[in-house]
Amino acid sequence: MTRKQKRSVVIFGALAMLGVAVALVLTALSDQVTFFRTPTELLAAPEENSGRIRLGGLVENGSVKKDDSTVEFAIEDVNDRVVVRYAGILPDLFREGQGVIAEGQLQSDGTFLADTVLAKHDENYMPKEVADRLKEQGYWQGDEMSATQ
């Protein structure tokens, strides 16, 4: 084997090992991926949303119902709403009419069982993904800075 051939074999071997390492990392991370959906997207294709997802939108006014251990509220966008059930303590800044993201799974009865609820951190913030989707639907009236701060 010539020196050039040996060098080519070493380079090819290193690239192959790098490719295998990248494939293993991507495979391991695929289980951790959480997709973001609006209520309209979630209800349009519920069979595509069988795993863990993030549901984002606005908390519907008058929809928050609390009992001893759970909270039930609706997340809405322009077209649809999804009822969310959550057992836990809501963030301090959670309130009706504000942007929120709930992480969990869609149940067979059409409700969303959340294990995490995220709320905005100040009066100027809405998650960029939520703001972008609401802007596409003509619902979000905030300025451009509030969606990216």
CA dihedral of residues 38, 39, 41, 44 (deg, nearest 10): 180
Q: Which residue would you say has higher pLDDT here, 46 or 29?
A: 29
* pLDDT surpasses 60 at 142: no
Q: What mean pLDDT, rounded, does the chain reach?
A: 81
Q: Give the per-residue pLDDT at 72.
A: 93
CA dihedral of residues 79, 39, 43, 87 (deg, nearest 10): -140
Joined tokens for residue 8: 């080519």
* pLDDT surpasses 70 at 32: no
* pLDDT surpasses 60 at 22: yes
pTM of the model: 0.61
Interatomic CA distance for residues 79 and 130, integer angstroms: 14
